[in-house]
Structure 1
Amino acid sequence: MRLAFGLGAVWLASLTIAATVIPSQNNDTDYKIGPTPLDTPWTDTVGTNPWPEYPRPRLQRSNWKNLNGVWRYRNGTEGDIKSPPFGQRLEKPVLVPFCLESALSGVTGKRHIYSWYQTSFDIPLDWLVTDRVLLNFGAVDYEATVFVNGHNATFHRGGYFEFSVDVTPYLNASGSNELIVHVFDPTDQDRTQIPVGKQTLNRGGMIWYTPCSGIWQTVWLESAPVEHVTKLDLVAEMDGKGTLIVTIYEPDTPDVKATATGISGAPFVFTVKNPELWHPDTPRLYNITVKLGSDTIQSYTGFRTVSRGVINGIQRPLLNNKFIFPFGPLDQGFWPDGIYTPPSVEAMVFDLKVLKRVGINTVRKHIKVEPALFYKACDELGLLVIQDMPSLRPDLPDPGNQCYIIRLEGPEQQKEFDRQLAMLVEQLKSYTSIFAWTIYNEEWGQDTKGLPEFRLTDLVKSLDPTRLVNAVSGWADHGAGDFDDNHHYSTPQCGTPFWSATSGLAAYDSGRIALQGEFGGVGQYAPGHTWYPDLSKQTSYELTNDTIAWNYRTHKLLSELREQTELYACSGGVWTQTTDVEGEVNGLMTYDRRVIRMDEAQWKADVFALYETAAKRAAHASQNVGMGDQSLEGLQIGML
């Protein structure tokens, strides 16, 4: 398998790194969890030093300092960025890294359009002798302006993406340093159209949820040499100078598997003999050390190839040149206590472990980007990830006729969507578990006349030729990408000779892979475990009276998908969904994660029946299996 790396570091399973948590500095004396209609088993265990783990498992250093904890907060106003509150103590406590609207933030409330954050930190003296100090943010929704000791250090736009800034020039050599962050997050205010996924300020209904504003992923400092690693990528264009030393270790041991030395600014290839391949059943990962001068980072990777090919006359997705049937849930990643931010890594991984218990091998990460540790967990547990691009707001009023709606406001909104789509691919493409990229969901923000999905498919393939691309999930499909993706509730229509003409869907395109991109959506009321106490506000595509009926109905729908796999061209399915979310009650679990609706023995049998049926369809001689004879041993390295 050919992998290309820019300089960076990733979590090493055997590495122990002690983080320094920033002192509370009396910020937390008035913090308390805000009101919420529903909590989780982890809500009361969060404390005031949340998410202490090293947050960026693709690029990890030993000298770092976690800045999560209780900061100070002030609700802002339009234009107030011209007068930052330097030297002031802001009025309210806020727990970073939780969305302002969430109970765990301690702020809660609505319409946090403009916001101020404030904290302070000290720097170990040895960091400032020869090294640079980097300030890192996992994600801030939506625009962040960062001030350090009164200096404007950086600006970042894009609510789902990590960013860093070298703050060395602004630091005090001794004593405390003031960090202030101004955030602007319009979500879907007025005619705003930015990538928001399912966040909304105003609209109710089943599939729209509480927005997430502000800092919602980990903030941390780290020390790095002047010449240091900045990025670790798969097949990326690269610049820079220096000598790169790479060491790969045997899984779960300190034994060296292979070493190589190269020059930065140009990829190079070396061979790892007889690697154990990564697969959902055997998610083998190799630890990596990368050195550039005095900078040492830790990383990991899995050896595997994703491609597509024809097997017995049918287009199929391939993993390591063999047909794999990706099946799993629509995974939205919302939490009643943290909204976009899980209360802890333990809570986040709980969801994934429940899925693995019943044999699920895939999650469709639905129009949201998760913290980096989510993808690390998928790498380790063995879950393929179909990663969606967070969608634009889908239904702006038509200025020419208020009775109609338009999908795209204009060229500036398209340009920004394109830019952030590229950021998504660049940020996540090194994770082994990423299986496919989804550009558009159900026509949301899609220019159906200009057909940008063809151009954007080419863009994604140019940035990452090692994955499949689902150009359009649901409908408004004009033939771009690797998948013919059909959404149909509650029953599946996957690669079949029948379809729903009234919904605007087209017949199955046999030139692409048939994927049931969404189906199921069977709901069940769970009194005491719902976001709204009034059950009349809880709904789904189809409802059952109890979990016995729910399991009967889900068994029937999974059996239909299995039959369509046996009889037709179905090559994968996405079930709606992992958990209930606010007004939706169609999860495999309730929103608070306290009730698992699945009869796990039945679900496991149904899931494996899907895989067994798919294996039988591919059991005979195959032809044109995509990338075919490519080596799984070449490791292509480069750096920034």
Structure 2
Amino acid sequence: MLSCIAYTLLLAGTAQAALLPRQSNSTGYSVKTPPLDTPWTYKVGTNPWPEYPRPLLERSQWQNLNGVWRHQNESSLDALNSPPFNQTLQNAVLVPSCLESGLSGVQGEYMLYSWYSTSFRVPSDWSGDKVLLNFGAVDYEATVYVNGQKAGFNRGGYFAFTLDITSLLSSGTNELLVFAHDPTDSDPYVIPIGKQTLRPSHIFYRPCSGIWQSVWIESAPSNYITELNLNADMDGKVSGTISTSANASTSVEISVTPQGDAGSGSTHQVSTGDFSFTVDSPQLWSPDSPTLYDITIKLGQDEVKSYTGFRTVSRGVIDGVERPLLNGEFIFFMGTLDQGYWPDGLYTPPNYEAMTYDLKTLKQIGYNGLRKHIKVETDLFYKACDEMGLLLIQDMPSLRPLQDRTLSNCTVETIVPDASQQAEFQRQLEVLIKQHRNYPSIIAWVIYNEGWGQITDPYYPEFGLTDLVRELDPTRLIDATTGWYDHGAGDFSDNHHYANPQCGAPFYSIQSSPYDPSRIGIQGEFGGIGHNVSIEHLWNVQEAIDTINQTYEIDTTLAAWNYRGHLLLSELEDQTKMYACSGGIWTQTTDVEGEVNGMLTYDRRFLRPDLKQWNADISALYDAAASRSNSSVKLF
């Protein structure tokens, strides 16, 4: 075990949040003490995440169902045969939260099968309207009942779904019952799980089961907007698709207004289905100027609000080098690998302030983006990136990463998906694209990370999946395989190497691939240098502490950590000047469990970078890229 005592004096001057009393109330809910807390752990209360959860399709009449529900664990799927209607379940639970988290009030293990229950009343002024029940995300399968009748089913732990429950409602109190099944990486399941595992170890973490994003109801007329696909480009063209519950062509009014300038908008008449129109001389969205426009859409009696940013993502050739382009100009991407884990909430941040703290910290250090690593966040996360001007590379959550199984004949095989599991992975990839393609901050999609769940024998599915993603969203770039098994698909030649970079350069390691000059060269992961801290900043689980020395590199002092960071960023700067490097992704935003290589510690109380040094080093990267951008661009 690596001792942490040596760093107590080093961190003695760091402000520590007081350990506040646990919350409790008449519902029986209280925070379970997590292995590590954050400054926000005991500020969450019993009405978490009050913000409207879906900013790209917002309705005025809504009711938040977050709060204290009831929960009980079950032993198998057989529990679905006997739903506990009109019963009081065993435990209080905070929704939304991961059942394995301290904030849930449960902090359980092996939460594979669970019942949830709550009750709600529909406002009287919604009479005559449709009532829609919305879930931000339930991991992994959700079976939903309202007043003893099945309302619907959803599969996929990262994605939103909506159920029309109008015909199931009563005039008084309504019972909502949800069964959540989350197998994670138990056999025989091969499903998208990212870094979740039932057996945490170093870079694989405690899982998140159940209702982990917001739940709400809303009112809509009989013919309402069900889906909005909207893109606004640098030339002012606004195009997309509007889908409705009636599934028939109907006139729609769309108003587009710069945020903060209500008097200068424009209104356009279109029809449902595919549409396009042009806004004159729009202010463009970029990291330096993240201008957004409010959108109001009226379809008969249905009115929804949304927003967009005018920008174009493409690729082109500058001085013979393939480059990523934003609004027709080469922009160097410099971000962190962002896991999105919290010691108190796991997948669910304690609150909006906590979630945006990470993003503000990245901007403060000098980063212009992040790679959302094999996790999908709440819609409010992407809105915050849009508002702050953070470029975002979005991963598809991986299937069973780096796992083997032993067969009856004692041979060992790597777990890869069979045909049906691969088809389900593809279906969920489609859902990811459709639900997130409206966010201006997202500039690229990642299909596979480091071969995790990737079939690496011909037929090479990333080629077909790249075509699929391109068809669903032709407005962004595609990183088909970030690291390891690159067969030539997608827009990026993406190298992973720790600790030093190998970006668009004439050298590479055995676990990545040589630079392919026909595509954009980026450093999809590098850095990862670790700096251990005193126990009050560590995930206090012995198995995790025992893996700290598995970190790619351990620097025994903070000064050495910053020095090593300077050297590695200088290497990336050289490769940008000399070769074909177009971006880098530093591992990582925060520590997570047994990993101690974050900009921030896992509790978000200690910031490692010397800000003056890191600001200068990252600015030098942008300057190096700018020095390679003076020639005319040949578009791809």
Shared fold per TM-score greater than 0.5 = yes
1:257 aligns with 2:268: no
Deviation string 1:78-100 (CA, Å, 9 cap, x unpaired) is 20101100010111000000000
2:264 and 2:116 map into 1 onto residues whose CA distance is 45
Contact conserved, 1:28 with 1:48, CA < 8 A, in 2?
A: no
Q: Which moved more, 1:390-399 or 1:447-456?
A: 390-399
Q: 1:494 aligns with which of 480, 488, 503?
A: 503
- Bigger RCO (CA 8 Å, 6+ sep): 1
Partner of 2:418: 410
Deviation string 1:367-391 (CA, Å, 9 cap, x unpaired) is 0000000000000000011000000
Q: 1:476 aligns with which of 447, 460, 485?
A: 485
Contact conserved, 2:241 with 2:275, CA < 8 A, in 1?
A: no
Q: 1:286 aligns with which of 279, 290, 293?
A: 293
Quote how far apart the aligned CAs of 1:190 are. Answer: 2.0
Partner of 1:420: 428
1:515 and 1:402 map into 2 onto residues whose CA distance is 41
Counterparts of 1:95-114 in structure 2, within 5 Å, are: 95-114=94-113
Q: For residues 624 and 237 of structure 1, do their structure 2 counterparts lie closer, same or farther at Cα, with a shift above 3 Å needed? A: farther
Q: 2:209 aligns with which of 189, 200, 213?
A: 213
Quote how far apart the aligned CAs of 1:405 are. Answer: 3.0
1:565 and 1:276 map into 2 onto residues whose CA distance is 30
1:398 and 1:432 map into 2 onto residues whose CA distance is 45
Partner of 1:323: 330
Partner of 1:224: 220
Q: Which moved more, 1:374-383 or 1:235-244?
A: 235-244
1:313 aligns with 2:320: yes
What is the letter of the counterpart of residue 29 of structure 1?
T
Quote how far apart the aligned CAs of 1:205 are. Answer: 2.5
What is the letter of the counterpart of residue 301 of structure 2?
S
Question: Percent sequence identity over matched residues?
Answer: 58
Partner of 1:272: 279
1:68 aligns with 2:79: no
1:401 and 1:556 map into 2 onto residues whose CA distance is 50
Q: For residues 400 and 324 of structure 1, do their structure 2 counterparts lie closer, same or farther at Cα, with a shift above 3 Å needed? A: farther
Contact conserved, 2:255 with 2:268, CA < 8 A, in 1?
A: yes
Q: Which moved more, 1:560-569 or 1:254-263?
A: 254-263
Deviation string 1:220-240 (CA, Å, 9 cap, x unpaired) is 000011111111113458553
Partner of 2:19: none
Partner of 1:538: 548
What is the letter of the counterpart of residue 450 of structure 2?
E
Quote how far apart the aligned CAs of 1:396 are. Answer: 3.2
Counterparts of 1:456-475 in structure 2, within 5 Å, are: 456-475=465-484
Partner of 1:454: 463
What is the letter of the counterpart of residue 182 of structure 1?
F
2:517 and 2:395 map into 1 onto residues whose CA distance is 23
Contact conserved, 1:407 with 1:446, CA < 8 A, in 2?
A: no
Q: For residues 402 and 349 of structure 1, do their structure 2 counterparts lie closer, same or farther at Cα, with a shift above 3 Å needed? A: farther
Q: For residues 402 and 465 of structure 1, do their structure 2 counterparts lie closer, same or farther at Cα, with a shift above 3 Å needed? A: farther
Q: 1:342 aligns with which of 340, 349, 367?
A: 349
2:398 and 2:70 map into 1 onto residues whose CA distance is 31
What is the letter of the counterpart of residue 197 of structure 1?
G
2:414 and 2:26 map into 1 onto residues whose CA distance is 46
Give 3-state SS (helix, strand or coil) of 1:116's partner.
strand
What TM-score does the superposition give when structure 1 sets the normalisation length? 0.91
Deviation string 1:160-200 (CA, Å, 9 cap, x unpaired) is 00000011101012x21000000110000123110000000
Partner of 1:10: none
Partner of 1:57: 55
Q: Mark the runs of 5 or more structure 2 residues left unpaired by the alignment.
A: 1-23, 231-239
What is the letter of the counterpart of residue 419 of structure 2?
P
Partner of 1:185: 182
What TM-score does the superposition give when structure 2 sets the normalisation length? 0.92
Give 3-state SS (helix, strand or coil) of 2:294's partner.
strand
1:43 and 1:72 map into 2 onto residues whose CA distance is 21
Partner of 1:598: 609
Quote how far apart the aligned CAs of 1:506 are. Answer: 2.7
Partner of 1:439: 447
1:210 and 1:573 map into 2 onto residues whose CA distance is 28
Give 3-state SS (helix, strand or coil) of 1:462's partner.
helix
Contact conserved, 1:407 with 1:443, CA < 8 A, in 2?
A: no
* CA-atom RMSD in angstroms: 1.4
What is the letter of the counterpart of residue 148 of structure 1?
V
What is the letter of the counterpart of residue 461 of structure 2?
P
What is the letter of the counterpart of residue 86 of structure 1?
F
Q: 1:194 aligns with which of 181, 191, 195?
A: 191
1:560 aligns with 2:559: no
1:136 and 1:49 map into 2 onto residues whose CA distance is 17
Partner of 2:438: 430
Give 3-state SS (helix, strand or coil) of 1:35's partner.
coil
Partner of 1:607: 618
Contact conserved, 2:225 with 2:242, CA < 8 A, in 1?
A: no
Contact conserved, 1:199 with 1:212, CA < 8 A, in 2?
A: yes
Deviation string 1:228-275 (CA, Å, 9 cap, x unpaired) is 11111134585533211001112312224211001112x222221110
Partner of 1:514: 521
Partner of 2:5: none
Partner of 2:303: 296
1:110 and 1:29 map into 2 onto residues whose CA distance is 23
2:132 and 2:354 map into 1 onto residues whose CA distance is 29
Q: For residues 578 and 402 of structure 1, do their structure 2 counterparts lie closer, same or farther at Cα, with a shift above 3 Å needed? A: farther
Q: 2:590 aligns with which of 554, 570, 579?
A: 579
Contact conserved, 1:495 with 1:508, CA < 8 A, in 2?
A: yes
Partner of 2:10: none
2:139 and 2:557 map into 1 onto residues whose CA distance is 38
1:330 and 1:194 map into 2 onto residues whose CA distance is 22
Q: 1:245 aligns with which of 246, 253, 272?
A: 253
1:396 and 1:409 map into 2 onto residues whose CA distance is 12
Quote how far apart the aligned CAs of 1:28 are. Answer: 5.0
1:167 aligns with 2:177: no
Partner of 1:124: 123
Give 3-state SS (helix, strand or coil) of 1:262's partner.
strand
2:44 and 2:126 map into 1 onto residues whose CA distance is 30
Contact conserved, 2:241 with 2:272, CA < 8 A, in 1?
A: no
What is the letter of the counterpart of residue 158 of structure 2?
Y
Q: Which moved more, 1:471-480 or 1:529-538?
A: 529-538
Deviation string 1:30-55 (CA, Å, 9 cap, x unpaired) is 11001211000000100000000000
Q: Which moved more, 1:320-329 or 1:245-254?
A: 245-254
1:550 aligns with 2:561: yes
Partner of 2:13: none
Contact conserved, 2:528 with 2:588, CA < 8 A, in 1?
A: yes
Partner of 1:31: 29
Give 3-state SS (helix, strand or coil) of 2:387's partner.
helix
2:399 and 2:106 map into 1 onto residues whose CA distance is 26
Q: For residues 157 and 533 of structure 1, do their structure 2 counterparts lie closer, same or farther at Cα, with a shift above 3 Å needed? A: closer
2:461 and 2:104 map into 1 onto residues whose CA distance is 38
Contact conserved, 1:398 with 1:406, CA < 8 A, in 2?
A: no
1:27 and 1:176 map into 2 onto residues whose CA distance is 22
Contact conserved, 2:98 with 2:208, CA < 8 A, in 1?
A: yes
What is the letter of the counterpart of residue 241 of structure 1?
S
